[in-house]
Structure 1
Amino acid sequence: MSTPVRLPFDQPGPLRPAPLLRQMQARGPVHPIRTAVGDPAWLVTGYEQVRALLDDDRLGRAHRDPDRASRTGNSVMFGGPQGDFDTEQADHRRLRSLLRPHFSPRRMRALRARVETLTVGLLDELAAAGPPADLHTALALPLPIAVICELLGVPYEDRARFRAWTRAAADTSDRARSEQGLAELFVYGRQLVARKRAEGDSDADVISRLAFTEGVSDDEAAAMGTFLLFAGHETTVTAIGKGVLWLLTAPGQWQALAADPQRVEAAVEEILRAPGLGGDGIPRYARTDLEIAGVQVRAGELVLLDIGAANHDGTMFADPDRFDIARPPVPHLAFGHGARYCVGAPLARIELQAVFSQLASRFPGLRLATAVEELRFTHDTLTGGPAEVPVTW
Structure 2
Amino acid sequence: MTVQLPFDQTGPLQVPAMLRTLQSQGTVHRIRTRVGDDAWLVTGYDEVRRLLADDRLGRSHPAPDNAARSGESALFGGPLGNYDTEKADHARMRSLLQPHFTPGRMRAFRGRVETLTAQLLDELAEQGPSADLNTALALPLPILVICELLGVPYEERTQFRAWTQAAADVLDRARSEQGLGDLFTYGQELVARKRRHPGDDVISRLCATDGVGDDEIAMLSMALLFAGHETTVVQIGLGALLLLTSPGQWQLLLDDPGLIPGAVEEIMRAPGKGGGGIPRYAHTDLEIGGVIVRAGDLVMLDNGAANHDGAVFTDPERFDVTRRETSHLTFGHGLRYCIGAPLARMELQVAFGHLIPRFPKMQLAVPVGELCVRGDVLTGGLVRLPVTW
Closer, same or farther: CA 77–279 of 1 in aligned 2, 3 Å = closer
Opposite residue 254 of structure 1, the aligned amino acid is: W
State the SS of the aligned residue for 1:319. Answer: coil
In the TM superposition, what is the alpha-carbon distance from 1:106 to its structure 2 partner? 2.6
In the TM superposition, what is the alpha-carbon distance from 1:30 to its structure 2 partner? 0.5
Range that drifts further, 244-253 or 340-349: 244-253
> Does residue 269 of structure 1 match 2:260?
no
Distance 1:277 1:381 in 2: 13
Range that drifts further, 271-280 or 89-98: 271-280
| Residue in structure 1 matched with residue 72 of structure 2 by the alignment | 74
- The CA deviation string for residues 276-304 of structure 1, in whole angstroms up to 9 with x for no partner, is 44541100000000001111000000000
| Residue in structure 1 matched with residue 174 of structure 2 by the alignment | 176
State the SS of the aligned residue for 2:300. Answer: strand
State the SS of the aligned residue for 1:100. Answer: helix
| Residue in structure 2 matched with residue 363 of structure 1 by the alignment | 359
| Residue in structure 1 matched with residue 189 of structure 2 by the alignment | 191
- The CA deviation string for residues 9-68 of structure 1, in whole angstroms up to 9 with x for no partner, is 111222112112101101111000000000000000000000011111000000000011
* Length-normalised TM-score, structure 2: 0.98
- The CA deviation string for residues 126-179 of structure 1, in whole angstroms up to 9 with x for no partner, is 112211111101000010000000000000000000000000000000011101
State the SS of the aligned residue for 2:180. Answer: helix
Fraction of identical pairs, as percent: 66
In the TM superposition, what is the alpha-carbon distance from 1:376 to its structure 2 partner? 3.1
| Residue in structure 1 matched with residue 8 of structure 2 by the alignment | 10
Distance 1:234 1:290 in 2: 33
In the TM superposition, what is the alpha-carbon distance from 1:251 to its structure 2 partner? 1.9
Distance 2:24 2:272 in 1: 18
| Residue in structure 1 matched with residue 60 of structure 2 by the alignment | 62
Is the Cα–Cα contact under 8 Å of residues 61 and 283 in structure 2 kept in the other structure?
yes
In the TM superposition, what is the alpha-carbon distance from 1:200 to its structure 2 partner? 4.2
Distance 2:231 2:273 in 1: 15
One of 48, 51, 54 as aligned partner of 1:53: 51
Opposite residue 374 of structure 1, the aligned amino acid is: E
Alignment of structure 1 residues 1-393 onto 2, 5 Å: 3-201=1-199, 204-393=200-389
RMSD: 1.0
In the TM superposition, what is the alpha-carbon distance from 1:364 to its structure 2 partner? 1.1
Distance 2:9 2:198 in 1: 52
In the TM superposition, what is the alpha-carbon distance from 1:213 to its structure 2 partner? 1.2
In the TM superposition, what is the alpha-carbon distance from 1:261 to its structure 2 partner? 2.0
Closer, same or farther: CA 17–105 of 1 in aligned 2, 3 Å = closer
- The CA deviation string for residues 285-341 of structure 1, in whole angstroms up to 9 with x for no partner, is 000000011110000000000000000000000110111111123311110111000
State the SS of the aligned residue for 1:32. Answer: strand
Closer, same or farther: CA 100–296 of 1 in aligned 2, 3 Å = same
Distance 1:297 1:271 in 2: 33
**Number of aligned positions between the proteins:** 389
Opposite residue 135 of structure 2, the aligned amino acid is: T
Distance 1:200 1:258 in 2: 42
- The CA deviation string for residues 182-219 of structure 1, in whole angstroms up to 9 with x for no partner, is 11100000000011011145xx2101111221111111
Structure 1 gap segments, 5+ residues each: none
Structure 2 gap segments, 5+ residues each: none
Distance 1:138 1:15 in 2: 21
Distance 1:355 1:328 in 2: 22
Distance 1:350 1:105 in 2: 9
